[in-house]
Structure 1
């Protein structure tokens, strides 16, 4: 429960910051062009608001429905659907009275703010914490593969060489590279030989739906931590810092071989050989039906992998932050394209608020929080640019049409388009959150 509360708090804080900044982008350009802003709200306020105050021409407030926020600009057909005001003659301070290029900048102001803010976050994160990652070449024991990974064609012990013949520097980016670049092959070293693992569209669909495909393989080099006194290990006398040597006389090279063996022994007794204070001891313990013995494990040598750490000075962090922002935007656009490729079934991975909240860590970590906030800021910017009426992109689409053709769409048409857009958005929100519920029910969340 505590983890859920921490994730929820991070999500609400992140979205609140991003919504305020997005709406401030619209507000800033509106005021620059002397366009009246009637309301500036965090969250929506149907029927009533939690807080509001009037300063000058603008009412600032906080609504009770945490689904976003808005600025209400005079003389603009938006989600407020204020038809009565639109029937009156245009006023000089209204949105509809301004030149098309000014209206265009007002509409893209929020998106621009999201992109700029994401880049500034990346600059700050790289300056404060730098960048640390496991080079793909340093996963020296190869990979350990889930059932999904094995179905695709990977095997335990494979060493990743390249994706479609191109080296991927960071191990954590191997799977995203396969998915986002729609890779056809992955080159691995298997039993001393280079082997191509073929990737089909069906495999891409599996990768999109799966959290775990493969991870770096670990040697069998563990000591005991966290013994549960009420479980078989505690009752058998297993103690903290005992070093595992063998099970039933079997010695293991890799940790996954040990866990696979324990799974085979569910509900049975095993003979565990340990080393304690330099002395070898044996303990008979029972494995539960869930495959548990009642103790945790920690690597004896926590430095088995050589990570690469990059540090950035103040001025170095700016080009590095811009580069990360551009790369993140490009990667998300590639991911977005997959939704229009039915064979990958990417639409099944579309998630709602629970999915977004789940990307935050279960403990509060500022580096992770700001990285996730920057990523969500880019998502909001791209989603808002979609040419759907009721989104910024819909307004931009009509403004570009007006600037190119010289003809302004009729207000009645814009009203109907706004209604259609709101219906589309509601359907998307319902579909995305329904996907979350289905995943929870199926236990795949």
Structure 2
């Protein structure tokens, strides 16, 4: 429900301000605005009230919103009004340049909103970046597909199409946008060129997570393991193989990757003792250990960790545990790290009870939760300690505004490059287009204002870009015909405009039906699997 509330809040802010851009510019040129609606009022509205000449309301269908301007063919598809003689207060009676400004009013407000949010954020909490230099200090770790397309663990990405990126969050997607990736490997510079098919494989199988930081192997433990464990147990730390100790966890993954019944002697740490376990590695998972059969978790300290996730049927939630609670003890034993948390829960019998001591807003209390058949209480912990790779640059408002403008432009270009990628069928990027349902599922389970406002700014830029596309039914489609009229002096007839608007709406509704259908299908599938 938190995710649903967040996406509805974000959409409401964006739609209201976008439509207010149209409303404000229309009123500026003395046009009559008949309706201002958040969401669509197909058949009926949830709330409505007429103030002056405008009906203000909230529709029942959460698919955007609209402003109905007299004398304009828009989402309302009011063709009867267009058959009457034009009136001075109507959209169609105004000069083309005024109509163009009205059409772009929503887009302009979306851009200004992003700049406002970024400016406020940079001058209060600071501009948050993931330092490329810091995250690449020991090189990068790549997933299976990353290795397949030519990268190796330890590589450093120097530039993409000749451009260097100081903020690492732009790097992974820029690799997919670009053609030439310059890397440094073992002190030597070289180039990697990815085909559309290779980019498609990254998008389909690993996404932006195909590349990341290298983490010490001692920070990870075996969280679950398949039937062919061959002596490896849950909560073990695998710290080496074949007489060689690992430094980074990706070295362990490299041993487990693409092996076919190979014998390996693992150096294992269990209860602070080290010993060797001989086993077989099989990438299929049928004859031995594989990345498919073993799950590793990061063992972070719980000093700054809180409940960050809850399943819908969470036993702990039923017992009173809530988001942002800090877990101190389980069954009277102090919990120091994530491994302790998992280990203590594993000692409780399925369907048994566990006593959890928590800190909620500096108040200590104890709850008794049931453990389900799988030995879980249905929660996940989130480490609130800011990553060592994060840099925050707090600045004055005077410096924040130009920085906000620069970031807004960079994010607008990001949308342009994403759209180009979608138009290249071999990449399969079009399969990743998400509806609000898909977007909501990616939002955090707990309310985080910093995340929400930054996501709102990002979404606002995306909305501005989408509406600028020259597709009938969108602001960009209206703007295109108005610009053509300004150049040629010829205006599209109302009848032709009606046909174009209808075609555009059919196209957009079909696209929405496909994306919603895909995300609903995935939601149902995930529910059935889990």
Which residue, out of 33, 43, 49, partners 2:45? 49
**3-state SS in 2 of match to 1:315:** helix
CA contact (8 A) 1:225 1:297 kept: no
Structure with more helix by fraction:
1
Taking only aligned residues, the RMSD between alpha carbons, in angstroms, comes to 3.6
- Give the counterpart of 1:252 among 235, 246, 249: 246
Separation in 1, partners of 2:112, 2:128? 24
- Hey, what's the Cα distance between the residues in 1 that align with 2:402 and 2:119? 8
Whether the aligned pair in 2 keeps the contact of 1:360 and 1:368 (CA below 8 Å) is no
C-alpha displacement of 1:353: 2.1
Distance 1:392 1:172, change over 3 A: closer
Q: Distance in 2 between matches of 1:303 and 1:370?
A: 18
* CA distance in structure 1 between the aligned counterparts of 2:473 and 2:234, rounded to whole angstroms: 65
| CA deviation string 1:390-430 (max 9, x = no partner) | 21112112212222222222111111111111111112212
Could you tell me whether the CA contact under 8 Å between 1:25 and 1:110 is conserved in 2? yes
2:81: which partner in 1?
A: 85
Q: Which whole-Å CA distance do the structure 2 matches of 1:288 and 1:206 have between them?
A: 25
Contact 1:247 1:273 (C-alpha < 8 Å) held by counterparts: no
Q: How do 1:373-384 residues align onto structure 2 when only pairs under 5 Å count?
A: 373-384=456-467
1:221 correspondence with 2:304? no
Shift of 1:348: 2.6
Quick check: 1:395 aligned with 2:391?
Answer: no
Q: Are 1:162 and 1:188, in contact at CA under 8 Å, matched by a contact in 2?
A: yes
The 2-side partners of 1:304 and 1:421 are apart by 45
Q: 1:295 to 1:395 in 2, by over 3 A?
A: closer
Structure 2 vs 1, CA of residues 134 and 325 (structure 1 numbering), >3 Å: closer, same or farther?
Answer: closer
1:64-120 per-residue CA deviation (whole Å, 9 max, x = no partner) reads: 000010111111112222222222222221112222222121111111111111111
Cα distance in structure 2, aligned partners of 1:359 and 1:31: 38
Aligned counterpart, 1:37: 33
Q: Counterpart of 2:101? A: 105
Does the 8 Å CA contact 1:118/1:375 hold for their aligned counterparts? Answer: yes
SS at match of 2:397: coil
Query: How far apart in 2 are the matches of 1:55 and 1:65?
Result: 23
Question: Which structure 2 residues correspond to residues 291-370 of structure 1 after superposition, within 5 A?
Answer: 291=293, 297-298=299-300, 305=388, 307-370=390-453
Deviations, residues 28-63 of structure 1 (Å, cap 9, x unaligned): 111111111111110011111110111111110001
Which residue in the other structure is 1:20 paired with? 16
Query: Is the contact made by 1:248 and 1:272 (CA closer than 8 Å) also made in structure 2?
Result: no
Distance 1:401 1:216, change over 3 A: same
Secondary structure of the residue aligned to 2:47 is strand
Q: 1:31 to 1:218 in 2, by over 3 A?
A: same
More moved, 395-404 vs 126-135: 126-135
**216-225 or 91-100, larger mean C-alpha shift:** 216-225
Of 410, 414, 417, which aligns to 2:500?
417
Alpha-carbon separation, structure 2, partners of 1:105 and 1:306 = 43
What is residue 198 of structure 2 aligned with on the other side?
Answer: 203
Whole-Å separation in 1 of the counterparts to 2:497 and 2:452: 39
| Higher mean C-alpha displacement, 7-16 vs 200-209 | 200-209
Contact 1:107/1:392 (8 A) holds in 2:
yes
* TM-score (normalizing by structure 1): 0.83
Provide Cα deviations, 1:257-287, integer angstroms capped at 9, x if missing partner.
446668999xxx98843465xxx47799x99
SS at match of 2:300: strand
Corresponding residue SS for 1:53: strand
| Residue aligning to 2:128 | 132
Cα distance in 2 for residues equivalent to 1:306 and 1:419: 50
Q: Aligned runs of 1:130-209 on 2, under 5 Å?
A: 130-138=126-134, 139-180=136-177, 182-184=178-180, 186-209=181-204
Against the structure 1 CA distance between its residues 149 and 262, is the aligned structure 2 distance closer, same or farther, given a 3 Å change threshold? closer
On the 8 A contact 1:49/1:63 being kept in 2, the answer is: yes
Q: Deviations over 1:193-243 (max 9, x none)?
A: 33332322222223443322111111223387999xxxx9xxx997xxx99
**In structure 2, do the counterparts of structure 1 residues 283 and 61 end up closer, same or farther at CA, with 3 Å as the change threshold?**
farther
Report the CA distance between 1:137 and its aligned residue.
2.7
- Kindly indicate whether the alpha-carbon contact (under 8 Å) linking 2:223 and 2:295 is maintained by their aligned counterparts in 1: no
The answer as to whether partners of 1:75 and 1:95 remain within 8 angstroms in 2 is yes
**Aligned-pair distance for 1:125?**
1.6
Q: Hey, what's the Cα distance between the residues in 2 that align with 1:88 and 1:380?
A: 34
Deviates more, 1:123-132 or 1:290-299: 290-299
1:117 is the counterpart of 2:113: yes
Alpha-carbon distance in structure 1 between the residues aligned to 2:24 and 2:491 = 24
Measure how far apart 1:328 and its partner are.
Answer: 0.8
CA distance in 2, matches of 1:45, 1:439: 28
Q: What is the 5 A alignment of 1:234-273?
A: 251-258=245-252, 272-273=268-269
Question: Which secondary structure does the structure 2 equivalent of 1:316 belong to?
Answer: helix
CA contact (8 A) 2:242 2:266 kept: yes
Stretches of structure 1 lacking an aligned partner (at least 5 in a row): none
Structure 1 counterpart of 2:341:
none
Q: State which drifts further: 354-363 or 395-404.
A: 354-363
